[in-house]
Structure 1
Amino acid sequence: MSTKKPLFIAFSSQKGGVGKSTFTTLVASVMHYRLGYNIAVFDADFPQHSLVKMKARDLAMVMENEALKKQAYKQFTAINKKAYPITPCKADNVLEAAHTFVNDSPIAVDMVFFDLPGTVNTPGILKALAGMHHIFTPITADRVVMESTLIFTQLLQDVIMKKGETSIKTINLFWNQVDGRESTPLYQVYNQLIKKLGLSLMQSQIKNGTRFRKESEADSKTVFRSTVMPADERLMKACRLDLFINEFLKIIQL
């Protein structure tokens, strides 16, 4: 029986398509397979449960691809542990389910990642978010994304956190899908607004790339977004995910 209390972490956004499920997978896989932490994931994005379905596809892909099968065998032999579990759940009871899982786990769980629904109208979503220790929110230089994100982040910070009935320690915005061709002043304007609102913005910026929008292909020799293997280190550097991971670790202070 485990007595250690893990960190509860969510990549959360009130706008779809900004990368919360992708980052849940990317960071969980690097933590579990490459950095040695014991990870669990709860997929509360009902009813699609996209991460549960992704894991099934990832396992099938590895078995059908000889190069990836050899990499996976070498990986799991070296780390001597299984793939991290992904448990389907609903937002209104996900905290209880996670605590039960942690208490019943024969090994100490270091971090639990939560993939939560992207709408404030979902039953239980505010309770679930209030139960997180750290929330990371991807943002893009889009007016609609920024407006909805900043309003909701202010709600979390100024209402939920200040009431004291929460586990939240930090809420961290970070730029995703940054295109080097876009106007730099645009980001400067948004950065100033975020600072003026008293919100926390990570220094790391994730560069845009097609790899974020696709999983491993049948003849691929490397993986990026996968639930059973960590992202290839060269691909991580190309989009600056390696710098993000370093800053992420400093923030959560595990």
Structure 2
Amino acid sequence: MHTPTPESQPVTAAQPSGTPTILAFATQKGGMGKTTLSVLVASWLHYKRGIKVALLDVDGSQLSVYNQRLREVENMDDETTARLDEQDIEPYAILSGNPRNVPGLLAKLPADVQLVLIDMPGNIDVDGYDLAIGKLDYLLVPMETSEYSVTTGFNFLTAIKQVGLLPTDRCRVVWNKYKPSRDGELADQLEERFAQYGFACLKSRIPQRDSYQDQGNRSTLFPMPTTYLRNSGLKDLFTEIESLLPNLQSHE
């Protein structure tokens, strides 16, 4: 197996018949977990479910996913190499750029990619942001139940609706950093309010866990260990995302 660079898969023009589904976790408030969720979903679906995934890191001010892959490759040891060989699947491609580069990056993807996740900037004023959002099949907006998070998330969705960048039935709210004892009743009430404006919420609710940030759990080369999935809400999230995308066929 060759060394897994961020653009580790051969770059060929995507064929129209194999157009991938495009999804992004995005919001205009930082710290909502969009990048962490993007990596966790990409790695699980690619390495555990056999869905051919690619990730576009267009958060140009940070490129945190792209740089994470570089660090993982740089720090590879014999144990990591052996794990990759045992996994027997090439690491998914990670391409970097800015929102305005999204059309060009999509054109460079391997032809067999089924699902593309886009790690968007946290600032909607970045050049090309609307262009990138307009390419999505699904937009997932991570929120907490705090007033500021709900307000900024709702305003973000409303702006997208008003401009017509994406139909509301392709947008979903996902509760992140969720504590059932504290947030359950409020989240239920907020979901009813969102529904009045045409915005649906995923059933999956992702509890607060600092361990999601650990390098071993948020790897771009391996899926999160199954021992961390218990009571995490993440397995439900992975399954729910697959159910949103019926054209995807896993190759387990």
Same fold judged by TM-score > 0.5?
yes
Q: Indicate if the aligned counterparts of 2:168 and 2:198 stay in contact, CA closer than 8 A.
A: no
Q: Indicate if the aligned counterparts of 1:134 and 1:252 stay in contact, CA closer than 8 A.
A: no
Other structure's SS at 1:138 match: strand
Q: Indicate if the aligned counterparts of 2:100 and 2:127 stay in contact, CA closer than 8 A.
A: yes
Matches within 5 A, 1:130-209: 130-161=134-165, 170-209=170-209
Q: Match of 2:172, as an amino acid?
A: N
Q: Indicate if the aligned counterparts of 1:40 and 1:113 stay in contact, CA closer than 8 A.
A: yes
**Deviations 1:134-157 (Å, cap 9, x if unpaired)?**
111111111111101111112223
Q: Match of 2:220, as an amino acid?
A: T
User: Residue 251 of structure 1 corresponds to which residue in structure 2?
Assistant: 244
CA–CA separation in structure 2 for the residues paired with 1:115 and 1:198: 24
TM-score, length-scaled by structure 2: 0.85
Q: Match of 1:75, as an amino acid?
A: Q
Other structure's SS at 1:59 match: helix
CA–CA separation in structure 2 for the residues paired with 1:234 and 1:58: 21
Which residue, out of 63, 66, 75, partners 2:87?
Answer: 75
CA–CA separation in structure 2 for the residues paired with 1:184 and 1:27: 24
- Cα distance, 1:69 vs structure 2: 4.5
Matches within 5 A, 1:53-72: 53-63=67-77, 66=79, 68-72=80-84
Matches within 5 A, 1:69-148: 69-76=81-88, 79=89, 82-98=90-106, 100-102=107-109, 105=110, 107-148=111-152
Structure 2: unaligned runs, 5 residues or longer? 1-12, 248-252
Q: Within the alignment, does 1:21 sit opposite 2:35 as a pair? A: yes
Q: Within the alignment, does 1:240 sit opposite 2:233 as a pair? A: yes
CA–CA separation in structure 2 for the residues paired with 1:240 and 1:213: 15
Note closer, same or farther for the CA distance 1:168–1:147 as it changes in structure 2 (3 Å cut). Answer: closer
Q: Match of 2:147, as an amino acid?
A: R
Other structure's SS at 1:137 match: strand
- Cα distance, 1:252 vs structure 2: 1.9
- Cα distance, 1:213 vs structure 2: 2.6
**Deviations 1:145-179 (Å, cap 9, x if unpaired)?**
11011111122234315xxxx68861111111112
Identical counterparts, % of pairs: 22
Q: Indicate if the aligned counterparts of 1:134 and 1:168 stay in contact, CA closer than 8 A.
A: no
Q: Match of 1:33, as an amino acid?
A: Y
Note closer, same or farther for the CA distance 1:56–1:168 as it changes in structure 2 (3 Å cut). Answer: farther
Structure 1: unaligned runs, 5 residues or longer? 217-223
**Deviations 1:95-132 (Å, cap 9, x if unpaired)?**
2221x213xx3x41111111111111111101110111
**Deviations 1:175-225 (Å, cap 9, x if unpaired)?**
111123415332233222212222010111111111123322xxxxxxx21
Q: Match of 1:56, as an amino acid?
A: L
- Cα distance, 1:7 vs structure 2: 0.9
Q: Match of 2:31, as an amino acid?
A: G
Poorly superposed stretches of 4+, deviation over 6 Å = none
Q: Within the alignment, does 1:228 sit opposite 2:221 as a pair? A: yes
User: Residue 34 of structure 1 corresponds to which residue in structure 2?
Assistant: 48
TM-score, length-scaled by structure 1: 0.84
Note closer, same or farther for the CA distance 1:92–1:72 as it changes in structure 2 (3 Å cut). Answer: same
Q: Alignment length, in residue pairs?
A: 233
Other structure's SS at 1:86 match: strand
CA–CA separation in structure 2 for the residues paired with 1:160 and 1:151: 14
CA RMSD of aligned residues (A): 2.0
CA–CA separation in structure 1 for the residues paired with 2:167 and 2:128: 15
